[in-house]
Structure 1
Amino acid sequence: MRQKSLGLAPCLLFLIPVAAWAAWLGWDQHRDVQPDGSVTGPYEAWQVIGLVLTLLASVYWAASRGRIAEAVFATTAGLTAAVYYDWSDDGSGLFMVGVGMVMMASLVTTFALSTLIASVKR
């Protein structure tokens, strides 16, 4: 039985979410105050959609090649690292709750998508 070499795929699948976070969300750090006094942000819907589509492309690439574990764990690790770095300056300490939520959502979503993509591509 021939074993697949890991190569650069895990590194790329880790770095793509980090770079995508920086490109789509990392630069927007201010919250918007609405005329009624409510606060929104710091991210707009189009930024989050851009991030999701970027990650979807990399997960599709890996899962369609049978690299489900790499797609799931490297993508989740990269996204979690980017979120942790970006949110770690929060003074309330609650950023870890958000980081944990992003990590779990990323893990579940990338697993479901990778499994679906791999099964459809067979």
Structure 2
Amino acid sequence: MNLTIHATFLPHDDPEAALAFYRDTLGFEVRGDVGYGGMRWITVGPAGQPGTSIVLHPPAADPGITEDERRIIAEMMAKGTYGMLTLATDDLDGIFDRLQAGDAEVVQEPTDQPYGVRDCAFRDPAGNMIRINQLG
């Protein structure tokens, strides 16, 4: 059996800011941009990896959640504790410089972790924690 990651979902609260970050700063391809009921679902992914995508979704889209739950989600997004994504690159310092120049919120500069990984961390415009690991 061959199992792959097809898509993961991260919330966004500003589609234009999400596009600027994921497309313009990170360099991901836009694979879909669908609007419905005043909300937008944006699918992005790394060039050369057409089978792996990130779907940026409006957190309020689920009709089964209450107003209190929507408020809690918004609070968690603002603190960076609702969504998280780990990416990998062969040029951590280069991507760090690009993200920093693009005004992304730096959480952690490139650091050699005691568990053997060199990484950095940012928050996307919605507050999601984005960690980036150095490959190799």
Q: Scaled by the length of structure 2, what TM-score is found? A: 0.30
Q: Scaled by the length of structure 1, what TM-score is found? A: 0.32
- Bigger relative contact order, structure 1 or 2 (CA pairs below 8 A, ≥6 apart): 1
Greater fraction of residues in strand: 2
